[in-house]
Chains A and B, each alone.
Chain A
Amino acid sequence: MKRIWAIAKKEFRRYFTDPRMLAALFLPGILIFLIYTALGNFVQGLDIGSVEPDYSYRIAYSDNYGSEEEPALLTAFSSYLASSGHTGESVFLPYEPAKRGEMLSDLAEGELDIVISFSEGFESILEEGPSLSPTRPNVDIYYNASHQASEQAYSLLLSLTGVYDAYTVNASIENPNVGGESFTMNSLFSFLFPMIVTSLLFSSCLSICPESIAGEKERGTIASILITPIRPWELATGKIVSLSVLAVLSGTVSALGLIASLPTMLGGMSISLSPISIAGLFFAVVSLLLMMVAGSSLVSAFAKTIKEATGYLGPLTAVLVILAVLPMALDLTPIWFAFVPFLNVIVCMSSVFSTPVSILYWAISIVESLLIAGFFLFLTVRLFRSERAMFG
């Protein structure tokens, strides 16, 4: 134990007394702050966050509603807007149910903001009061997420229908969105976060592990350690533990940089993370980190020189970053992807900001990553024991 601690302490001393090493540890955090702040300013410039107060919402509704009067839902919509300071008059357009297809294509093209379709028999609510029959009438509300106004009108309508128990909403449609995916802060984070975490963590591994393991081999200092009564597993453990702590420190500085840049980044928009999501992110980041440190240590113990080690690990950075944006392009949420190392943790991190994955998915991903880290540690100890690897 004393020897493991001595090895770890030497590592800390090395990093904290050398300005070059300190920079390698903490520069990524400073960079992330600068990059995110710049990105935040850029995103704010896009002005995706608001609908002008004099905007006129155009809402089409099917005329089988059962009354000559405007549907109560729409009356509530107008009065809510008026009370919240919106000055634009909304336009409500009744249409024959047969023309729903036409209306939906108008919605997709942005001619309309909302299309409402009442089910047959909806009027009975007005005539007979809330029905007690098991089949309640339904109203479908379509919107177009690629238009900010449509999305806002939709969420307002949903919250207004929420108070009724008399009918169902969107029970007969799978996807009320006729447009493309909406561009929100969460969707931006769902691919930015894994990508930036991956590249930052791996680059801190890259600046730490080859230097402290292959470097010791290259400089011939590892022999002066191995001729003492230390056991190879003590040496490997001391190294990996201290390198992990250093990488965590470096990662924490990165996280601080991220948090510091959030206000600019988010601007008017909000990003909502529950404490459970934050805990999940923490576990994902730590298991990813341990896997990366143990893996880079293994490669560094195998390589004869720092150059050789970074030669193997450097190109891997690009591969990992590309893999990290894969959840953008592919649906990796089916459970069997939880067994694909690295990608599974990426999906978990991404899922916090987009479609959630199951607890089982999380558990498999994190346990698997820790097992892989342990396996890498085991192989590293083997290499420290091998005279071919150490003095080949």
Chain B
Amino acid sequence: MEVCLEAIHLTKRFPLSSRQARERGISSRELTAVDDVSFQVERGEIYALLGPNGAGKTTCLRMVSSLISPTSGEIKIDGKTLTKESDSLRGKIGFLTSELKLDPFFSPSYTFSFLATLYGLSEEESKRRKREVFARFGIDGFSETRIKDLSTGMKQKASLAMSVVADPELIVYDEPTNGLDIVASRDVEDFIREEKSSGKAIVISTHIFSLVDKLADRVGFLIDGKLVLEESVGELVARYGSVEEAFFSLYGGRK
């Protein structure tokens, strides 16, 4: 299989204001959110970063999608260094996270065209892609309604649609099923599987064990910013019965 994403010795340190440091009860003015993390994701593969809240999952994925840059280490997409060619490489990444919102004042249709322009799609490509994606998510019925008037489920569909405007090769989803009901969660899972079978490289983060069992090919356990274990999901299930059992028998005492 062909490697799409390489994360090489990724480290992210956040400078803290003295107030932030005091609130966290640490004397250092710096917080290491991600500490020397390396992993690879191949095309047609789903890789899950699993860890408790505050483990550094979101920080990791923000670096991978070039929203923030690593303090040290390197990210390569199709062999090209992200920090050096971020403007062109961003077009190959589809990113979804709960803090990344759609403008409530605009309709899904307008938002899609707007983002397509920013991704450099031509008018024609944009229209064709919109038809395709909106049909896939069943958005046509509310494509002209303002985002703020949509239900949570509709918003989620719109967000998924916007994450694949430019038909990205790498899909980066941060806690993709958080806050969704069972039907909407299932939709997301189905979509991720579809993208996998069409040969995309996929990274998700989650703190939900069952999602890893159902979806991921490989999993990395992230604890306090460190990648403590990386293993194929099939292997873990065979050895421990489930990912949850594996996690707690290996790291249960730590946190």
Contacts and interface: CB of A to CB of B under 8 A. Distances in A.
A370 B196 CA distance: 53
Contact of A2 (B66, B68, B88, B117): B117
B119 interface: yes
B100 A3 contact: no
Interface residues of B, number: 30
Interface in B26-69: 62, 65-69
A387 B71 CA distance: 12
A229 B110 contact: no
Nearest to B94: A227
B93 interface: yes
A185 B118 CA distance: 52
Interface string A207-225: 0000000001001110111
A18 interface: yes
Interface in A217-250: 219-221, 223-231
B119 A228 contact: yes
Contacts of A229: 87-88, 90-91, 118-120
A6 interface: yes
Interface in B114-144: 114-115, 117-120
23 contacts: A3-B117, A3-B118, A6-B114, A6-B117, A10-B103, A10-B106, A13-B110, A216-B103, A219-B104, A221-B102, A223-B101, A225-B118, A227-B67, A227-B93, A227-B95, A227-B100, A228-B90, A228-B115, A229-B90, A229-B120, A388-B15, A391-B62, A391-B67
Contacts of B102: 221, 224
- The size bracket of the interface on A is 20 to 34
A387 B162 contact: no
B209 interface: no
Interface in A262-311: none
Contact of B114 (A10, A17, A18, A231): A10
A13 B110 CA distance: 10
A139 B105 CA distance: 74
Nearest to A21: B105
Contacts of A216: 103
A219 B104 CA distance: 9
Contacts of A219: 101, 103-104
B23 interface: no
Contacts of A13: 106, 110
B118 A228 contact: yes
Given A3-B118, A219-B101, A227 B68 contact: no
Interface in A1-47: 2-3, 6, 10, 13-14, 17-18
Contacts of B110: 13
Nearest to A10: B114
A224 B100 contact: yes
B253 to A, nearest CB: 33
B99 interface: yes
* A-B residue pairs, 3 tightest by C-beta: A228-B118, A220-B101, A6-B117
A387 B68 contact: yes
Contact of B69 (A18, A223, A226, A387): A387
Contacts of A225: 118
Nearest to B62: A391
Nearest to B111: A224
Nearest to A392: B14
A13 B69 CA distance: 33
A18 B115 CA distance: 21
Given A2-B117, A6-B117, A13-B110, A227 B66 contact: yes
B235 to A, nearest CB: 33
Nearest to A216: B103
A311 to B, nearest CB: 18
A18 B105 CA distance: 8
Given A231-B87, A387-B69, A391-B68, 12 more contacts: A2-B117, A6-B114, A14-B103, A14-B105, A14-B106, A220-B101, A223-B67, A223-B99, A224-B103, A229-B88, A387-B68, A391-B67
A179 to B, nearest CB: 59
Contacts of B99: 220, 223
Contacts of A17: 105
A221 to B, nearest CB: 5
Contacts of A231: 87
B19 to A, nearest CB: 13
Given A14-B105, A227-B90, A227-B100, A387 B67 contact: yes
A178 to B, nearest CB: 64
Contacts of B105: 14, 17-18
B11 to A, nearest CB: 15
Contacts of B120: 2, 229
A216 B67 CA distance: 15
A2 B120 CA distance: 8
A224 B106 contact: no
A221 B68 contact: no
A378 B100 CA distance: 26
